[in-house]
Amino acid sequence: MKEFIIIGHKAVTAPFSLNDLPGAAGRMDILCRCVNAALFLSHDLRRDVRVYLVLKGGAPSKIVRFDGASVRYLSPDERSAASLIKKALEKQAQGFWTDSTPGVSVKIGEFGDLLGELNKKITYLMEDGVDIRTIPYTGSSDHLFVLGDHMGLTDDEENIIKGREHEIAGVGPLSLHADHCIILLHNEMDRSEKHI
Amino acid sequence: MKEFIIIGHKAVTAPFSLNDLPGAAGRMDILCRCVNAALFLSHDLRRDVRVYLVLKGGAPSKIVRFDGASVRYLSPDERSAASLIKKALEKQAQGFWTDSTPGVSVKIGEFGDLLGELNKKITYLMEDGVDIRTIPYTGSSDHLFVLGDHMGLTDDEENIIKGREHEIAGVGPLSLHADHCIILLHNEMDRSEKHI
């Protein structure tokens, strides 16, 4: 299982207009592009992927999960992912996972709680991390990646990561958007799995 | 200069609704994501990039050009790129480039005419092409890439490429969306330029 956590520091936790994802919805467009990057192949979906969007633009914070194995009604465009996130936010979220549309769930929760629930080694993406091309991805297809939005991660969030088993990885010489990093991570894992 | 041509076989050539990019606008969402992938860095733009969108969902076909050196009013979300494409399609297009918003231009034209105008070696992206990691990108930062949309390229379009100097490249073991391929191409060139 490949799991991606993306933290949306301004992303709203209540239903929002699909016509203003960057503004009123708190850069929800970033999270929608991460869903696309994590789950889509050409004419197929990556079934072995889960995406967790941590929405911190409201109190309490919420987490929306997309499961590649069971997700339905998802198209590659931002508005499609946004529509499923919106539907999830219309649910009465609890402290446990509540199903929304097929393959999409929502809960009330914090980033730290989610790391505890998943309970595995974290790969945290940072500009000056260890080059992913030098990290051996073969031998395991079980990975948990954490990426920030346009604001990166807060010191508190970084400290939560540092309190757990983790490594800090980077995808190349330039600073890139989270969804672009996900594409590069997948390509590295795809190559490792096919021994290319 | 790094130039990317993306062919949108169903993409409309008249102004369209921003609320239905995949449907009524003829998979315009794909082209918008390619604009994002080609031009955006984190908190910056790639100034040495031009993107050409060949819109073939109307007659005559039109080409919309985004120039990273001068583009303005472009945000990373699909709707932002779509809005600039729509504005360009509101212009009275001719057989030569007409400026729309800053850094965005439009003309009436075919894919083959555009290749003649740019007149340089083509790298055509295909699933079974030569692995980009084995192609030496150093020594030149002048590249022209051609990518298809969800329909790939037609036989006619492939024949036009084959009539010119070209190579066929691939980005990895799985079939990916055009915008995801652009991310991988950029990363390879970024690494070459930094000798990583």
Q: CA of A20: which chain B residue's CA is closest?
A: B79
Q: Does A36 touch chain B (CB under 8 A)?
A: yes
Find which of A41, A179, A196 to mutate to test the B interface (most B CBs within 10 Å of its CB). A179
CA dihedral B149, A174, A40, A7 (to 10 degrees): -140
Q: First vs last Cα of chain A: how many Å apart?
A: 20
Backbone angles phi, psi at A133, to 5 degrees: -75, -10
Interchain CB distance below 8 Å, A77 and B78:
yes
Backbone angles phi, psi at A120, to 5 degrees: -145, 170
Q: Between B77, B174, B184, which is nearest A22 by CB?
A: B77
Percent of chain A with pLDDT over 70: 98
**Side chain identity at B47, as an amino acid letter?**
R
Tell me the pairing of strands B2-8 and B143-148: parallel
pTM confidence score: 0.97
pLDDT at B64: 98
Name the residue among A194, A32, A152, A178 with its Cα closest to residue B21.
A32
Name the residue among A29, A8, A10 with its Cα closest to residue A18.
A29
Q: CA of B180: which chain A residue's CA is closest?
A: A183
B112-170: per-residue pLDDT in tens?
Answer: 999 999 999 999 999 889 999 998 766 677 999 999 998 899 999 999 999 999 999 99
Q: Does A43 touch chain B (CB under 8 A)?
A: yes
Q: CA of B183: which chain A residue's CA is closest?
A: A180
- What ipTM was estimated for this complex? 0.97
Q: Between B44, B76, B177, which is nearest A40 by CB?
A: B177
pLDDT over 90 at B25, yes or no: yes
Distance from CA of B96 to the nearest CA of A (A): 31
- CATH superfamily of domain region B2-193: SPOUT methyltransferase, trefoil knot domain (3.40.1280.10)
Q: Does B19 touch chain A (CB under 8 A)?
A: yes
Interchain CB distance below 8 Å, B42 and A177:
yes
Q: Does A30 touch chain B (CB under 8 A)?
A: yes
pLDDT at A138: 63
Q: Does B128 touch chain A (CB under 8 A)?
A: no
Name every chain A residue with its beta carbon within 8 A of the beta carbon of B42: 150, 174-177
Q: Does B187 touch chain A (CB under 8 A)?
A: yes
Interchain CB distance below 8 Å, A187 and B191:
no
pLDDT at B139: 61
Interchain CB distance below 8 Å, B184 and A180:
no
Instruction: Give how far Cα A157 sits from Cα of A111, A146, A165, B13, Å.
Output: 8, 10, 14, 46
pLDDT at B1: 94
B43-97: per-residue pLDDT in tens?
Answer: 999 999 999 999 999 999 999 999 999 999 999 999 999 999 999 999 999 999 9
Tell me the pairing of strands A2-8 and A49-55: parallel
Q: Which residues contact A126 (CB under 8 A, 6 or more apart)?
A: A168, A169, A170
**Residues A96, A152 contacting (CB under 8 angstroms):** no
Average pLDDT over residues A166-189: 96
Q: Which residues on neighbouring strands pair with residue B44, listed in sequence order?
A: B41
d(C-alpha A77, C-alpha B22), whole Å: 7
| pLDDT band at residue A96 using 50, 70 and 90 as cut-offs | very high
pLDDT at B175: 95
Mean pLDDT, all residues of chain B: 96
Query: B40 or A139: which carries more pLDDT confidence?
Result: B40
Instruction: Give how far Cα B15 sits from Cα of A156, A171, B25, B90, Å.
Output: 46, 38, 8, 6
A11-70: per-residue pLDDT in tens?
Answer: 999 999 999 999 999 999 999 999 999 999 999 999 999 999 999 999 999 999 999 999
